[in-house]
Chain A
Amino acid sequence: MVETVTMNLLDYQDTKTQQRILLGATGVDYQEFEDSGLGFGYEALMQSPQVEWTDVVSTQKSFKVGDTPLFELKGITQIVRHMSRPGHGAQILLKDEAANASGSFKARRASLAVALAKRRGYAGVVAATSGNYGAAVASQAAMQGLKCIILQEAYDSHGVGQPEILEKARACEAYGAEVVQLSVGPELFLELLKVLDETGYFSASLYAPYSVLGVETLGFEIATQCRESYGRAPDSVVVSHAGGGNVTGTARGLLRAGAMETTVIAASVNLSGLHMASDGQFNRKSFTTSHTGFAMPFLDQPDRVDVPRNACRPLRYLDRMVTVEQGDVFYATELLAQFDGLERGPAGNTALAAAIPIARDLPDTALVVVQESEYSGAGKSHYAQVAFARENGIGVAVGDPRKSTPGVNIILPATPEGMTVADVDLRAVREKYVRRRSVHGEHSEADVAFLAEETRLPVAAVQEILGRK
């Protein structure tokens, strides 16, 4: 009798096992980029896909991605100007990323990942995502002829699924993918390793260099389209922010286009107080992406992802970061539909919710670009989200959104004047990043230089923090 040895899921916590699987599944030897100290060669990692820029653009085009419209949001700009002091109220533009195959900007990332997998001879692709990225990978795998498995954190321990995530599962299955739905917990990474090990498929990680490169076209297009229509790059670009790939790729694309003066602003939905790995709190949130539960930990601990070194490093690129409340985003979603005739989101409208109060304080000559939209649908719609919140005992009211408590209530503003943003103290986050990496003993010059690059803090400030420790 032959005894089959199956590995327990927890056995995949072994570092050597992880390295072996990820090397096979990404084709990237991350060890190559490691410095002797605490740093690594970020730009060398970013160049590792060895793809020419013209190939990036043509690959995306051939797979129904990119070149999306940049719309003037005339209705929302009118609302902004109605409440601005004289001479103020910037024009708001929307990059309508819902026009990509599969309905979101995530197709930019997926198209390159799947093309790379195909070129390298993999039979299939695997991605761990509860969001639009799953549908994007599934759609790209369908058109490029690869098999596809998507792993989602979908259900709580009572088997109740987040409607937004169930819709993504449906979309993945519509594109012919297999969907592995998991209950709440960080063991998802271990199951991902198990599936990669078992299938030998390519890991289409959101945090790989080509995944960021795919978003660079978005920033590049924004700068180019603004110059064509308005003779200059935008003053501000507001980006819905979670894992950091959207910010990193968009900012790099703007820089690639020479838009050095454009302010890059990240916007996340405030979900403070809700623990992302809590079974009991899983269904008390009304946003499963673009929220602080992902955004904040990734800022100062970017490498806690499914690859050894994360290509998404928002602190290198962010000029400003703000949070909005869940009620602000639902409100913005209504405004976009009712005043600009676009039914999108809601999660993708996080940046829009931030852009409205931001534009209010800018001169009326300024251009503010909301950098993405996403498709809407059953489960994802803000109506579905609010209904699900009410089913879970979350109060829904009109008042001051700032007074809401995530997981307890959702408050929509009474008028657009009630929409605000709260600034995140990025200086404090940058300093925290350095403190986390300070170890006992001396730091080499290379360490200090790396930390300065990572955080955009002056070298002297990094040295001071390290010395203090």
Chain B
Amino acid sequence: MSVRRGSYVRVKCLLLEPGNRKSGIPADTASVAYEMRVAGYLAMDASEGEEVQITTVTGRTVTGKLEDAHPAYTHTFGPIDPILHEVGPRVKAWLRR
């Protein structure tokens, strides 16, 4: 699906190929690509996965693969964890002992 020019999107850029990483890093890291993700305004109509240009909020031009047409904040507080949830009541009981 086409994403309109001017949309605020996130691109992914390949900075270093696997095997071409800085020397002396752990093997698992050396065997994967070094990547960058940046958000900005799309310079042209494009589809997800296409190589595009964006202009970031500071005015920089960045070229990368259109990864996310609608970047969102999806991190949460998480579910109620029984172990954490019981700390308060348990310590209150302990204080009464």
**In the complex, are the beta carbons of B83 and A279 less than 8 A apart?**
no
**In the complex, are the beta carbons of A183 and B32 less than 8 A apart?**
yes
A387 to B37, CA, bound (A): 25
Q: How many residues of B contact A (CB 8 A)?
A: 40
Using Cβ atoms and an 8 Å threshold, which residues of chain B touch A147? 58-59
- Taking CB as reference atom, which chain B residue is nearest A181? B37
A378 to B34, CA, bound (A): 27
**In the complex, are the beta carbons of A386 and B32 less than 8 A apart?**
no
**In the complex, are the beta carbons of B16 and A9 less than 8 A apart?**
yes
Using Cβ atoms and an 8 Å threshold, which residues of chain B touch A178? 38-40, 56-58, 60
- Taking CB as reference atom, which chain B residue is nearest A398? B83
| CB of A353, distance to nearest CB on chain B (Å) | 13
Give per-residue flags for B55-97: 1 if the beta carbon is below 8 A from chain A beta carbons, else 0.
0111110000000000001011111110110011011101100
The B-contacting residues of A in range 378-427, CB under 8 angstroms, are 378-379, 381-388, 390, 396-398, 412, 414-416
Given contacts A78-B95, A187-B21, A338-B88, contact A124 B73 (CB under 8 A): no
Is A273 in contact with chain B by the CB < 8 A criterion?
no
Is A176 in contact with chain B by the CB < 8 A criterion?
yes
- Taking CB as reference atom, which chain A residue is nearest B12? A159
A330 to B87, CA, bound (A): 10
**In the complex, are the beta carbons of B34 and A170 less than 8 A apart?**
no
**In the complex, are the beta carbons of B58 and A149 less than 8 A apart?**
yes
Is A166 in contact with chain B by the CB < 8 A criterion?
yes
Using Cβ atoms and an 8 Å threshold, which residues of chain A touch B95? 78-79, 82
Is A17 in contact with chain B by the CB < 8 A criterion?
no
The B-contacting residues of A in range 181-231, CB under 8 angstroms, are 181-187, 190-191, 198-199
**In the complex, are the beta carbons of A383 and B80 less than 8 A apart?**
yes
Using Cβ atoms and an 8 Å threshold, which residues of chain A touch B26? 275, 277-279
B39, B57, B58, B90 — most chain A CB neighbours (10 Å): B58
**In the complex, are the beta carbons of B87 and A412 less than 8 A apart?**
yes
Given contacts A183-B35, A378-B77, A387-B79, contact A415 B22 (CB under 8 A): no
**In the complex, are the beta carbons of B38 and A383 less than 8 A apart?**
no
**In the complex, are the beta carbons of B78 and A388 less than 8 A apart?**
yes
**In the complex, are the beta carbons of A198 and B60 less than 8 A apart?**
yes
Using Cβ atoms and an 8 Å threshold, which residues of chain B touch A277? 25-26, 29
Nearest first, the 7 A-B pairs at minimum CB distance are A387-B78, A379-B75, A338-B88, A157-B32, A334-B87, A181-B37, A384-B78
